[in-house]
């Protein structure tokens, strides 16, 4: 079976900084791949290239064998890649359920239906909000907090909300940039379980995360980056022992404290 997402020899420089020096890896449907590496390794840059936010200097990203070259983020998203952001990008003026509703997308009804409050508007609106609520429930978002705006939510719930928003796109590929950063450790197992369930439904998940214990809970395979290059990849047992990962500064033993590098 051809891989769902293929990243082939992707390069990107910012001025003199080579953020990505020919990075290649692939992701199959139903698989969770953990992308690891110290601060500044180029992980977020890679995510931005995959999602169309950053144009690479060279190389290509393919989804289902189709090149995404030259496509903007909206196009890429419509083809089935959804993402979360390392520093939360929520819609602060919208309530939680409205945040997710935006992701459900346009097309349920037309502008004229909304302005004239036609029947299509009522039906479409009920459908959109109903779907949004379902996704929120699926990520364990408390129903009583649905009509709060993100600034009113504790950090962990904001992270869940952003995850729900990405999931509401029904993506083929889900890219999570540090899904548990800043979250309580008690919440890790729930998020890990959620990610595994998403993958089990056939979605390819790319998880960027420093925290080694968390990564081991979710990922079957790891891609290790440092200084813009992939330095190792494969199943956990094939490549590195946990001690090596931590010792070489590729991941962190736990969620607290300063970065290893």
Ligand X SMILES: Nc1ncnc2c1ncn2[C@@H]1O[C@H](COP(=O)(O)OP(=O)(O)OP(=O)(O)O)[C@@H](O)[C@H]1O
Our finding on whether 44 is near ligand X (CB under 6 A) is yes
Q: Which residues in the 26-55 window bind other proteins by CB under 8 A?
A: 39, 44, 51, 53
Among Mg ion, other proteins, ligand X, none, what does residue 19 contact (CB within 5–8 Å per kind)?
Answer: ligand X
Closest by alpha carbon to 52, among 31, 83, 73?
Answer: 73
Buried b (16+ CB within 10 A) or exposed e, 96-126: bbbbbbebbeeebbeeebeeeeeeebeebbe
CB of 126 to other proteins, least distance (A): 12
Question: Which of 41-49, 133-141, 156-164, 231-239 is the region at the interface with ligand X (rule: CB under 6 A)?
Answer: 41-49
**By three-state DSSP, how is residue 8 classified?**
strand
Our finding on whether 12 is near other proteins (CB under 8 A) is no
Phi/psi of residue 152, nearest 5 degrees: -85, -10
Residues 191-230 vs other proteins: string with x where CB under 8 A? ----------------------------------------
Our finding on whether 40 is near ligand X (CB under 6 A) is yes
CA dihedral sign of residues 176, 196, 209, 179 = positive
Beta-bridge mates of residue 67? 62
Nearer to other proteins (CB atom), residue 170 or residue 220: 170
Tokens of 194: 């959620």
How many whole angstroms separate alpha carbon 149 and alpha carbon 158? Answer: 9
Nearer to ligand X (CB atom), residue 87 or residue 201: 87
> At what angle are helices 188-200 and 155-167 packed, to 10 degrees?
0
Our finding on whether 84 is near Mg ion (CB under 5 A) is no
CA distances from 182 to 37, 56, 99, 185 (A): 17, 29, 21, 9
Binding site for other proteins (CB under 8 A): 39, 44, 51, 53, 72-75, 77-78, 82-83, 85-94, 98, 101-103, 105-106, 108-109, 111, 114-117, 121, 124-125, 128, 142, 144-145, 147-149, 152-157, 165, 169, 177-178, 181-184, 187, 255-256, 258-259
């Amino acid at each position: 079976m051809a891989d769902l997402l293929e990243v082939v020899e992707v390069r990107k420089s910012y001025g003199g900084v080579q953020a990505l020096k020919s990075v290649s890896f692939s992701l199959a449907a139903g698989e969770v791949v953990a992308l690891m590496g110290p601060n500044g390794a180029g992980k977020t840059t890679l995510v931005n290239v995959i999602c169309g936010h950053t144009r690479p200097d060279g190389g290509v990203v393919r989804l289902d064998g189709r090149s995404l070259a030259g496509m903007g983020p909206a196009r890429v998203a419509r083809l089935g890649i959804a993402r979360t952001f390392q520093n939360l990008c929520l819609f602060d003026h919208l309530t939680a359920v409205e945040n997710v509703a935006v992701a459900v997308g346009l097309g349920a009804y037309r502008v004229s239906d909304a302005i004239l409050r036609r029947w299509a508007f009522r039906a479409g609106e009920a459908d959109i909000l109903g779907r949004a609520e379902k996704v929120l429930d699926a990520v364990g978002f408390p129903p009583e907090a649905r009509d709060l705006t993100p600034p009113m939510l504790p950090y962990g719930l904001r992270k869940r909300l952003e995850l729900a928003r990405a999931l509401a796109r029904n993506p083929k590929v889900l890219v999570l940039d540090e899904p548990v950063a800043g979250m309580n450790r008690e919440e890790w197992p729930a998020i890990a379980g959620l990610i595994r369930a998403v993958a089990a439904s056939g979605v390819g998940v790319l998880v960027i995360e420093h925290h080694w214990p968390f990564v081991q809970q979710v990922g079957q395979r790891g891609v290790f980056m440092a200084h813009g290059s992939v330095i190792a990849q494969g199943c956990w047992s094939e490549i590195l022992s946990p001690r090596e990962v931590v010792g070489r500064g590729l991941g962190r033993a736990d969620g607290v404290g300063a970065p290893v590098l």
